[in-house]
Copies of this chain bind each other. A is one copy, B any other.
């Protein structure tokens, strides 16, 4: 399951693209960083990429697949905070925190492939190159921004908008890494856990969205038939995602 080979070029590309998007100025240091991306493993759907009691010695980068950051709440519920796509860091929170949370974990929602960077190596790179450091800081800020948006979503909007908004976000983020499919590889349970709704209710919302011609009937994944209408329902404004400028024009007007 766990190989030790260096990631092939294509996979690491997502990571580098992500960094350049976070900070266009991080040129030279990037090579240094690339050499530090050492191991590569494959994690199967349903397994934890970052487990609660894992040693704190390396940072994980998602190279392929979809994962989520989550926590198990006292009552047994799972709260999903954010989703990770190719190129995203999975556990900067553990690297940067003085007292890393023992509750946060990262789970593979599809089969995933990951790379790792030893803390020691990362320490060096960040110390030498403030531009890389800024990129990492921005990655944290971006994730923070996404969680804030999810908070607003859950706190203030009715279920239909909530689900639509969540799906919209995934659509945009997938496009940002050139996945132009209308299929989002999440199931209703995962949407419920991220949207703060019961599975039953998410199911009813899905049916409503189907009646509205927005979703197609599809098992195990979500197929969006009309993303423009979806964005309209959600009142979606993608600016908080800080997508590459190239995608800005893709933005759907609201209302």
Contacts and interface: CB of A to CB of B under 8 A. Distances in A.
Given A96-B137, A134-B96, A74 B235 contact: yes
A232 interface: no
Contacts of A151: 79, 81, 147, 150-151, 154
Interface string A97-116: 11101100000000000000
Copies of the chain in the assembly: 2
B93 A156 contact: no
A188 interface: no
A252 interface: no
Contacts of A97: 138, 141-142, 145, 242
A156 B196 contact: yes
A205 interface: no
A240 interface: yes
Q: Which of A101, A137, A235, A240 has the most CB of B within 10 A?
A: A137
Interface stretch (A9-17, A125-133, A166-174, A178-186): A125-133
A141 B96 contact: yes
B147 A98 contact: no
Contact of A147 (B22, B137, B144, B156): B144
A103 to B, nearest CB: 8
Interface residues of A, number: 45
Given A96-B138, A97-B138, A144-B143, A79 B133 contact: no
A71 interface: yes
A148 interface: yes
A11 to B, nearest CB: 25
Nearest to A94: B141
A145 B93 contact: yes
A138 B22 contact: no
A140 interface: yes
Q: Give 3 closest A-B pairs by Cβ, nearest first.
A: A155-B196, A144-B144, A137-B137
Interface of A: 22-23, 71, 73-75, 77, 79, 81, 92-93, 96-99, 101-102, 126-127, 130, 133-134, 136-138, 140-145, 147-148, 150-152, 154-157, 196, 235, 239-240, 242
13 contacts: A71-B152, A75-B156, A81-B148, A81-B151, A92-B141, A97-B138, A101-B145, A126-B134, A133-B137, A140-B144, A147-B151, A154-B155, A156-B196
